[in-house]
Structure 1
Amino acid sequence: MNTTINDIARLAGVAKSTVSRYLNGGNVSEKTKAKIRKVIEETNYEPNSFAQSLKAKKTNFIGVIAPTLDSYVTSTVLMAIDEELRKQDYTTLIISTSKHIDREIESLVSLSRQKVDGIILIATGMTEQHIETIKTIQIPVLIVAQEVDQFNCIINDDYHAGFEMGQYIADKGHQVVAYLGVTESDIAVGQKRKQGILDGLAEGGVQEVKVFRSEFDFQDASRVTEEMLCHFQPTAIIGATDTIAFGALKTLSRLGKKVPEDISLSGFGGYNISEVIHPALTTIRYNNKETGKLAANTIIRMTNGEEAPQLQVSGYSFIEGESVKNVKS
């Protein structure tokens, strides 16, 4: 009876994919190589050259394109992706784009030329150029954090998270509210999260809401808050992210305003530091680890030619801190 690759894997005590990598010159430790080599010599195993050539088309490399590496949310998702892929004998190639959309396009093309099996794109926005590039490269691409009709996507439940935060602020009696949002080219945060907040506030009967635009970074949020306070005096500020909320907090502290005594504050992200600062920030924490694990398993299914859901939605938790005051009379 002919010895198969499954037999080699069983006798060597390794995964079938590890034997496949060894046969195709992939990355295998010297100790494992020695075990596999010994079994092959003892069984006189001869690889089927046609089958091996087919296997060689699969590299077991997955490319991941991330907007930044210093974000708590992104880094948590990335670590979960990498950990899950490693468990299944895949290697992760991570590219950071520093939040430049043109670099996302370049990275999609670059990774496809490196013959990765699939790509996970943690997107900051989706343009027509993104869509055309993904169609052109003919490699499975999974979009994380943005929803696009044509592709497989995993998103946060931004609308309902925003709605819950809006309702919460309204329930605390705030009638004059500022929302520090981001560009609408970011569909998830710039559009859906914002709309959820506005709808939640409206349903709660909030009389006056003004939207201001910030970049995602701390310093710009601080600047926007200072400019806003020159002509608008809200009793509550909602930041589109915890980082934006921290930027607002910096300005409020410098101006001698206390949170929540003078102005209430909330955000989205659920960073660890949000619970450490005083007062602890009221925020939304997304299930980032679960998102990363889900992304890894989904892209593996896609590279194997298996069916994968077009849209998957990751959940969240509401974290009530001490930064929102009840102003009901």
Structure 2
Amino acid sequence: MIRTIADIAKIAGVAKSTVSRYLNGGSVGEATRKKIEKAIQETGYTPNPFAQSLKAKKTNIIGTIVPRLDSFASSQTLIGIDERLKELNYQMLISNTSQDLNREIESIYSLANQKMAGIILLATVITDRHLQAIADINIPVLLIGQEHEEIHSVIHDDYHAGMAIGQYVLEKGHRNIAYLGVTELDIAVGIKRKQGFTKALEGKEDIDVHYYETEFNIPAAQAAAMEILRNSNQSIVVCATDNIALGCLKAAYKLGIAVPDTLSVTGFGGYDVTEAIHPGITTAKFHYKEAGKKAAVNMVELVHERPVEILTTMNFEIIKRESVDTI
């Protein structure tokens, strides 16, 4: 049986307005609060967040802008946001931009016009247009995956993950190295990971490292890896993402190059598929779901105008699998 505010009010012996005030975070007496909570618990009543938002001065809906839905990192991050927001009595509304920056800017304004309490942006780049839109809408905005000195952010430790992968590659004896990265417009993946990796190699003798660039998708990575593997003698390809590593594995297979006997491969991300395939891919695992949960908590704090650190950095771990051989 579907319960309403009127049902809760009748069971608790209070007015509907009192129940509504309680649900919207208003002030009610301690004895009244206990009666309402008991009625809610007994009936299993769940407030409708959208209905509440129509009446409340502040909504309990958080807009979340995502560049693509068919990404392991994005989907895991969204799951984390959703799970924690529900625990905090907030609702998530997703806007997918299909990696179109114009749509991303439009979504910022659109969500603000829909009375969102705040916006979480799974960012790839931050442009002047982003900064202008964020300044214009005058509601809290939080970034995931990228950082900016003026905007609250939750990021992965791309720099130190890159360094850790570099150190591991050296420990395994590799000296002829290819690094297959992405555009430096993406600060986190395109710059930070490569900087950390380069730092690990700094000052080491007899290192021959070549840097290449590709796109994030597997077909483009495969094509780039085919060219690299045909024209070089690197013992390992360090890939800026797990999808790029998958493309590299496919290229090696097509060229008849055995992994890891002849060629080693590493990635970044820790996608589930890296464990399911053979050989399993050595990777720097980022905790996307936990990052989403942390972003949700920080966003709710910002909505309530409570202090939040401008930058939150998540941990990572190196997962060592069969794709890297010892030289």
TM-score class, shorter-chain normalisation, is 0.7 to 0.9
Residue in structure 2 matched with residue 279 of structure 1 by the alignment: 279
Q: Per-residue deviation at 1:43?
A: 2.7
Q: Structure 2 CA distance, aligned partners of 1:284 and 1:130? A: 29
Q: How many residues align?
A: 297
Structure 2 SS opposite 1:267: strand
Q: Per-residue deviation at 1:30?
A: 3.6
Residue in structure 2 matched with residue 175 of structure 1 by the alignment: 175
Residue in structure 2 matched with residue 265 of structure 1 by the alignment: 265
Partner amino acid, structure 2, of 1:314: M
Residue in structure 2 matched with residue 31 of structure 1 by the alignment: 3
Q: Structure 2 CA distance, aligned partners of 1:82 and 1:212? A: 37
Structure 2 SS opposite 1:212: strand
Q: Per-residue deviation at 1:73?
A: 1.4
Q: Structure 2 CA distance, aligned partners of 1:254 and 1:54? A: 57
Unaligned stretches of 5+ in structure 1? 1-28
Change (3 A) 1:45 1:112: closer
Residue in structure 1 matched with residue 243 of structure 2 by the alignment: 243
Residue in structure 1 matched with residue 321 of structure 2 by the alignment: 321
Structure 2 SS opposite 1:150: coil
Residue in structure 2 matched with residue 140 of structure 1 by the alignment: 140
- Whether the 8 Å contact between 2:147 and 2:153 is mirrored in structure 1 is yes
Q: Does 1:43 align with 2:14?
A: yes
Q: Per-residue deviation at 1:114?
A: 0.6
Q: Structure 2 CA distance, aligned partners of 1:157 and 1:311? A: 11
Change (3 A) 1:230 1:313: same
**Alignment deviations for residues 264-309 of structure 1 (CA, whole Å, 9 cap, x no partner):** 0000111111112111110011122211110000000001111111
Residue in structure 1 matched with residue 164 of structure 2 by the alignment: 164
Q: Per-residue deviation at 1:36?
A: 2.6
Structure 2 SS opposite 1:43: coil
Q: Structure 1 CA distance, aligned partners of 2:226 and 2:103? A: 32
TM-score (norm 1): 0.85
Q: Per-residue deviation at 1:202?
A: 2.8
Residue in structure 2 matched with residue 19 of structure 1 by the alignment: none
Unaligned stretches of 5+ in structure 2? 28-52
Q: Structure 2 CA distance, aligned partners of 1:102 and 1:200? A: 37
Partner amino acid, structure 1, of 2:14: T
Structure 1 SS opposite 2:318: strand
TM-score (norm 2): 0.86
Overall identity of the aligned pairs, in %? 43
Q: Structure 1 CA distance, aligned partners of 2:132 and 2:106? A: 12
Q: Structure 1 CA distance, aligned partners of 2:74 and 2:206? A: 33
Q: Does 1:220 align with 2:220?
A: yes
Correspondences of 1:178-189 after superposition (within 5 Å): 178-189=178-189
- Whether the 8 Å contact between 1:174 and 1:206 is mirrored in structure 2 is no
- Whether the 8 Å contact between 2:176 and 2:236 is mirrored in structure 1 is yes
Structure 2 SS opposite 1:325: coil
